[in-house]
């Protein structure tokens, strides 16, 4: 879970840093105000689209991980259940073998 948190924090930092860099570059560029506003609008649309795409990819990855964890958990549950049944059967056989000797 920590890896997902770290990746999310990295992604947010990356997007915020990109936005800050783009805004600084646009404001310091020798252009007219209208050209600058157009560039800011275009860049913000581009960044929004990239952020949406990244969020969709992250959601798909999280879904895959959840399915994998669920499948592994089910396999472990079935293995423990089988081993428990085998242990109970072994104990019953051991008790049955010891009873005639005690009588």
pLDDT tens-place string over residues 44-93:
899 889 889 988 998 899 999 999 999 999 999 999 999 999 898 988 88
pTM of the model: 0.47
pLDDT score recorded for residue 72: 94
Q: Using an 8 Å Cβ cutoff, are 68 and 39 in contact?
A: no
The pLDDT assigned to 3 comes to 63
Give yes or no for a contact between 26 and 40, defined as CB atoms under 8 angstroms apart. yes
Give whole-number Cα distances, 17 to 3, 7, 23, 43, 95, in Å.
Answer: 21, 15, 10, 13, 70
* Joined tokens for residue 35: 């050209």
What pLDDT shows up at residue 71?
Answer: 94
Question: Average pLDDT for residues 4-27, to the nearest whole number?
Answer: 79
pLDDT number for residue 39: 81
Residue 37 has pLDDT above 60, yes or no: yes
Biggest CA pair distance of the chain = 105
- 62 within 8 A of 33, measured Cβ to Cβ: no
pLDDT surpassing 70 at residue 101: no
């Amino acid at each position: 879970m920590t890896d997902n948190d770290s990746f999310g924090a990295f992604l947010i930092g990356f997007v915020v840093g990109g936005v800050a860099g783009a805004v600084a570059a646009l404001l310091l560029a020798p252009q007219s105000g209208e050209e600058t506003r157009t560039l800011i609008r275009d860049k913000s649309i581009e960044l929004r689209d990239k952020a949406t795409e990244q969020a969709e990819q992250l959601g798909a990855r999280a879904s895959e991980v959840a399915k994998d964890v669920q499948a592994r958990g089910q396999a472990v549950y079935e293995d423990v259940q089988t081993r428990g049944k085998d242990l109970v059967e072994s104990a019953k056989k051991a008790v049955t073998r010891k009873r005639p000797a005690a009588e």
